[in-house]
A and B are shown apart, each in its own frame.
Chain A
Amino acid sequence: MFVRIADGEGKRVVVLIDDAPFEGRQGDSVATVLLLAGKVGCRRSFVSGEPRGPYCMMGVCFECLVRVDGIDGLQACMIPIRPKMRIETSIARA
């Protein structure tokens, strides 16, 4: 499980991950809240069907693709969370 190193001052930001509310901090990326929410796998490989999730955390590996506010295929690690953001993984849908 992923745990915050320091759970300090950051302002609370509530997003929806697969329809469930989750409280992150201002400045978190979508990938950060996915990992904190235990959604380590957020999609499945098109070829093998294996789960895939945030890996490089810096925009390079394209493993953490999710749907954000209705737009498919976005890199979770590159998007800061906003209040009421709707994050949808495809692990169950696939």
Chain B
Amino acid sequence: MNLHGCDFAVIGGGLVGATIARGLASGGLRVVVLDDGDIALRASRGNFALVWVQGKGSDMPRYAEWTRQSVSLWREFCTEIAAETGLDVSYEQPGGFHLALSEEELEYLRATRHVGPQPEGTAYPPCEIMSASEIRSHLPHVGAEVVGGSYCPLDGHVNALRLFRAVHQAMIVRGVDYRPNSRVTEIGFDGVFRLSLEGAGAIMADKLLLAAGLDNARLAPMVGLAAPVRSQRGQILVTEKTLPFLNFPIATVRQTDEGSVLIGDSQEEVGPGEAVATGIASVMASRAMRMFPSIAGLKIVRWWDCARVLSPDGYPIYDHSRSHPGAFLATCHSGVTLAAAHAKLLTPAILNGGLPEQFAAFSSRRFNVCAHS
């Protein structure tokens, strides 16, 4: 252990960084989290809060499996967090729907869901396609334009802002030294990592985790890693609170435990600084009203956009540096769904000193182009 620093420095105090830092600290390590300030592009504060498996990893079975593993651990994870903090993050797993507003959309769901009994060892979750009348028996408020949909019993949702707060509180309870407004400018390495901080000083760390979201792109090359992540805009509309009417989360519409209706899941390839126009939000609101006509009378009280952290194929990157042993990297765009896997599967691997074979598929080396002779 170095004298003037910590055992483990985590760069990034979002959901990914805080979840892993909490787990590292429980191993008895001195853990420091170096976080940005309030101006951070914080996906943890802008996400749609689904804990979701349906449709995930359609072209990467290992990701579908990873997502399912996380969901299977989610109840245990949030029970632990509640015991440590007294905060109930309102995790519910009633199953979730995608709703189709046209035959084309229903056909897309049929083609992309893995319906019916799955072969032995398959990664994909159980999913069924429902007719409009079947949908209506579960969702009585659904509109006449809904022609059908898909349902997966493993899907659920949480209160994401409370989750973010709870994970932060849990990491503090476990003794993590949390330092906001600590932007890392340079990382040196001579067996120990030396992290230079903007403005003043430096901190030494035996080991290092980069969990800085979009900023991982800048930091990763400092420790011989790559994080080719880009920002993708997602917008969310929030209505005034209303009587509970929606007992299941829909991929683009859900009612929170506090009564608000959230409308979301837009995807725009624009940078975080660009102005937001009303076009996309209008489409989101219009589709949500066609799904649930009764929400038309509700006022929109908030409207925000947030930057998704996306790798080239959209899947997470977990890496351990070969040139800088002890430097790890974690980034994903589903920090809520994957929180349990990060806490219970990824963190123990990092504590053990390396990422075993089952993480190989998530290395950024998958983006390298190989020349074959």
Nearest CB in chain A to that of B238: its residue = A62
Chain B residues, CB < 8 A from A65: 240
Chain A residues, CB < 8 A from B241: 45-47, 62
In the complex, B243 has a CB within 8 A of chain A: yes
The CA-CA distance from A47 to B260 in the complex, in Å, is 10
Chain B residues, CB < 8 A from A62: 240-241, 301
The CA-CA distance from A47 to B258 in the complex, in Å, is 6
* Docked-complex contact B244 and A47, CB < 8 angstroms: yes
Tell me, rounded to whole Å, the shortest Cβ–Cβ distance linking A78 to chain B.
12
Chain A residues, CB < 8 A from B240: 62, 65, 73
Kindly supply a per-residue 1/0 record for chain A positions 37-68, scoring 1 wherever the CB is within 8 Å of any chain B CB and 0 otherwise.
00000000111000000000000001001000
In the complex, B79 has a CB within 8 A of chain A: no
Q: Is the interface of B mostly helix, strand, loop or mixed?
A: loop
* Docked-complex contact A46 and B244, CB < 8 angstroms: yes
Tell me, rounded to whole Å, the shortest Cβ–Cβ distance linking B46 to chain A.
17
Chain B residues, CB < 8 A from A46: 241-244, 259
Q: When A62-B240, A65-B240 are in contact, do A45 and B301 touch as well, CB less than 8 Å?
A: no
* Docked-complex contact A73 and B299, CB < 8 angstroms: yes
Kindly supply a per-residue 1/0 record for chain B positions 247-289, scoring 1 wherever the CB is within 8 Å of any chain A CB and 0 otherwise.
0000000000111000000000000000000000000000000
Chain A residues, CB < 8 A from B301: 62
Q: When A62-B240, A62-B241, A65-B240 are in contact, do A45 and B299 touch as well, CB less than 8 Å?
A: no
Tell me, rounded to whole Å, the shortest Cβ–Cβ distance linking B195 to chain A.
36
The CA-CA distance from A46 to B246 in the complex, in Å, is 13
Can you report 19 residue pairs joining A to B where beta carbons are below 8 Å apart?
A45-B241, A45-B258, A45-B259, A46-B241, A46-B242, A46-B243, A46-B244, A46-B259, A47-B241, A47-B244, A47-B257, A47-B258, A47-B259, A62-B240, A62-B241, A62-B301, A65-B240, A73-B240, A73-B299
Residues of B within 8 A of A (CB): 240-244, 257-259, 299, 301
Q: Which A-B residue pairs are the 4 nearest by beta carbons?
A: A46-B259, A47-B259, A46-B243, A62-B301
